[in-house]
């Protein structure tokens, strides 16, 4: 089972297994039970159709909430994060007692890049269950996404303390601590401890490769860890392409097959195709066709996931539309590829200021001042003036 699916379903396993009580003759119940049968047999498309039919027929709020929550899980498995978030939102609104729907809503919103809404939903979960480790961990990931290393370390430490046996929380905590303290050896120790306890947890191996590669400049050790990641994750791992590209860049030979999940060969990066999409995006951008520009930039990223300028240009397009949340997310993605990308950090700080997230805007302006003092100070003045309005 994929990690993403395991995280989601573990948060609402009871809702997944619920069958309506009764003879199954009430409106919508027959379709719901058939949907569960289809889901158990692996037919997600049929399960979705039957759940949607069931929801249209069901009259009771509690039962409709359960069906909507289940539909959200199916939509998530189909890769439709936005639609899943909508289903979970409707479920949570109909029945606040089903905390799993609120949690799933937060997870789906986070996956869809809607961090502010995800934070609100997850805090609702914590209002009912203050020690919900999944909600706390995802709040930590939101802070990690915002590059708020102190906040990320705080939340992820809470999650790790609640359940020290959760490798995902420990893995994310290692990254937050690395950026906060710049202590690579501390993070390496934590990641090695994760692999000692969970030998098949591939993300820890990838992050070890990245630390040796980007922080310690130890090519040999980096390639060893990247190769271990590929052996664990297989061809379809979430970072298999990046691991292969890193091995090639470091002078090694990336394996053509991996362990883990089987499947067709991983798609290769195509910089020339990416450049064509970037050019098309720039044309759309210049014509103020921002949605079309964003689609071209996304196509470029499909061809080359390491293309920081595609994320940056996407952020500019979102900003031009007044969509400051997605602009910030896009600029964050560019900075994840290159933390020294000052143009992206400038736009990130500006986007946060437009959202009136003053602390986040100040933090990014301070970071910008380290690499570009002139624009960093200009941004600090803009933030200070904007707060007075």
Q: How confident is the model at residue 19 (pLDDT cuts 50, 70, 90)?
A: very low
Q: How confident is the model at residue 369 (pLDDT cuts 50, 70, 90)?
A: very high
Q: Per-residue pLDDT for 46 more than 80?
A: yes
Dihedral pair phi/psi, residue 234, rounded to 5°: 80, -170
Give the pLDDT of residue 101: 65
Q: Is residue 307 part of a domain?
A: yes
| Range from 38-52, 184-198, 248-262 that averages highest in pLDDT | 184-198
Range of the domain at 88: 1-130
Q: What is the mean pLDDT of the chain?
A: 82
| 3-state secondary structure (DSSP) of residue 261 | strand
Domain boundary, last residue among 83, 110, 130: 130
Q: Per-residue pLDDT for 266 more than 50?
A: no
Q: Per-residue pLDDT for 25 more than 80?
A: no
More confident residue, 40 or 221: 221
Taking a C-beta distance cutoff of 8 angstroms, is the pair 191, 174 a contact?
yes
Tokens 């009912």 belong to which residue?
Answer: 128
Give the pLDDT of residue 16: 30
Q: How confident is the model at residue 185 (pLDDT cuts 50, 70, 90)?
A: very high
C-alpha 225: how far from its chain's center? 23
Q: Is residue 206 part of a domain?
A: no
Give the pLDDT of residue 322: 93
More confident residue, 31 or 347: 347
Q: Is residue 32 part of a domain?
A: yes
For 150, 337, 358, the CA distances from 376, given in Å and listed in that order, are 21, 20, 15
The secondary structure of 108-164 as a DSSP string is: HHHHTT-HHHHHHHHHHHHHH-TT-HHHHHHHHHHHHHTT-HHHHHHHHHHHHHH-T
Give the pLDDT of residue 267: 52
Domain boundary, last residue among 95, 130, 165: 130
More confident residue, 102 or 286: 286
Tokens of 164: 């020290």
> How many domains are contained in the chain?
2
Question: ∠318-321-327 over CA atoms, to 5°?
Answer: 25
Q: Per-residue pLDDT for 269 more than 70?
A: no
Q: Is residue 117 part of a domain?
A: yes
Per-residue pLDDT of 75-106, as tens digits, reads: 877 878 788 878 877 876 775 555 566 777 78
CB contact set of 297 (below 8 Å; sequence gap of 6+): 277, 278, 281, 310, 311, 313, 314, 317
Q: Is residue 184 part of a domain?
A: no
Give me the count of residues in the chain.
389
Residue 243: exposure state from Cβ atoms within 10 A (0-12, 13-18, ≥19): buried
For 154, 205, 328, the CA distances from 140, given in Å and listed in that order, are 7, 21, 17
Q: Is residue 103 part of a domain?
A: yes
Give the pLDDT of residue 124: 85
Per-residue pLDDT of 202-218, as tens digits, reads: 999 999 999 999 899 99
Tokens 């961090």 belong to which residue?
Answer: 115
Beta-ladder partners of 261? 234
Give the pLDDT of residue 12: 32
Per-residue pLDDT of 151-178, as tens digits, reads: 999 999 999 999 888 888 899 999 999 9
Q: Does pTM top 0.75 for this prediction?
A: no
More confident residue, 218 or 125: 218
Q: Per-residue pLDDT for 55 more than 60?
A: yes
Q: Per-residue pLDDT for 187 more than 50?
A: yes
Buried b / exposed e across 193-208, counting CB within 10 Å, b at 16+? ebbeebeebbbbbbbb
Give the pLDDT of residue 86: 82
Per-residue pLDDT of 322-363, as tens digits, reads: 999 889 989 988 888 888 899 999 999 999 999 999 999 999
Q: How confident is the model at residue 9 (pLDDT cuts 50, 70, 90)?
A: very low
Residue from 309, 318, 239, 245 nearest 274 by CA: 309
Domain boundary, last residue among 130, 160, 188: 130
Q: Is residue 183 part of a domain?
A: no
Q: Per-residue pLDDT for 7 more than 70?
A: no
Q: Which helix (H) or strand (E) holds 255?
A: none
Tokens of 75: 């939509």
Least confident of 59-73, 235-249, 287-301, 365-379: 59-73
- Give the count of beta carbons closer than 10 Å to the beta carbon of residue 31: 20
Per-residue pLDDT of 190-201, as tens digits, reads: 999 999 998 999
Q: Is residue 31 part of a domain?
A: yes
Give the pLDDT of residue 20: 33
Spatial separation of the C-alpha atoms in residues 164 and 9, rounded to whole Å: 20
Q: Residue 332: which CATH number?
A: 1.25.40.10
Dihedral pair phi/psi, residue 271, rounded to 5°: -60, -35
More confident residue, 387 or 106: 387
Taking a C-beta distance cutoff of 8 angstroms, is the pair 303, 271 a contact?
yes
| 3-state secondary structure (DSSP) of residue 360 | helix
């Amino acid at each position: 089972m994929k990690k993403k699916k395991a995280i989601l379903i573990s948060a609402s396993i009871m809702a997944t297994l619920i069958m309506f009580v009764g003879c199954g003759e009430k409106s919508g119940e027959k379709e719901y039970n058939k949907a569960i049968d289809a889901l158990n047999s692996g037919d997600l498309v049929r399960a979705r159709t039957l759940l949607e039919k069931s929801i249209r027929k069901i009259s009771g709020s509690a039962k409709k909430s359960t069906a909507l929550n289940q539909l959200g899980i199916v939509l998530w498995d189909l890769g439709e994060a936005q639609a899943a978030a909508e289903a979970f939102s409707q479920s949570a609104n109909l029945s606040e007692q089903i905390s799993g729907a609120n949690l799933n809503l937060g997870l789906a919103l986070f996956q869809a890049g809607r961090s502010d809404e995800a934070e609100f939903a997850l805090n609702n979960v914590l209002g009912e269950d203050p020690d919900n480790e999944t909600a706390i961990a995802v709040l930590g990931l939101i802070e990690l996404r915002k590059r708020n290393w102190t906040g990320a370390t705080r939340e992820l430490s809470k999650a790790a303390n609640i359940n020290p046996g959760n490798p995902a929380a420990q893995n994310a905590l290692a990254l937050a601590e690395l950026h906060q303290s710049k202590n690579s050896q501390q993070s390496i120790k934590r990641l090695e401890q994760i692999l000692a306890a969970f030998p098949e947890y591939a993300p820890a191996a990838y992050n070890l490769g990245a630390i040796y590669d980007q922080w310690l400049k130890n090519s040999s050790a980096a390639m060893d860890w990247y190769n271990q990641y590929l052996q664990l994750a297989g061809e379809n791992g979430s970072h298999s392409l990046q691991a292969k590209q890193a091995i090639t860049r470091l002078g090694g030979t990336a394996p053509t097959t991996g362990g883990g999940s089987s499947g067709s060969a991983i798609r290769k990066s195509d910089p020339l195709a990416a450049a064509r999409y970037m050019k098309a995006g720039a044309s759309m951008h210049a014509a103020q066709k921002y949605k079309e520009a964003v689609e071209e930039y996304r196509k470029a990223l499909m061809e080359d996931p390491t293309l920081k300028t595609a994320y940056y240009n996407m952020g500019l397009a979102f900003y031009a539309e007044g969509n400051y949340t997605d602009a910030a997310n896009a600029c964050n993605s560019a900075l994840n590829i290159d933390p020294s990308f000052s143009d992206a950090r400038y736009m990130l700080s500006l986007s946060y200021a437009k959202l009136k997230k003053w602390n986040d805007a100040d933090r990014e302006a301070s970071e910008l001042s380290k690499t570009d003092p002139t624009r960093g100070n200009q941004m600090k003045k803009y933030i200070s003036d904007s707060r007075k309005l």
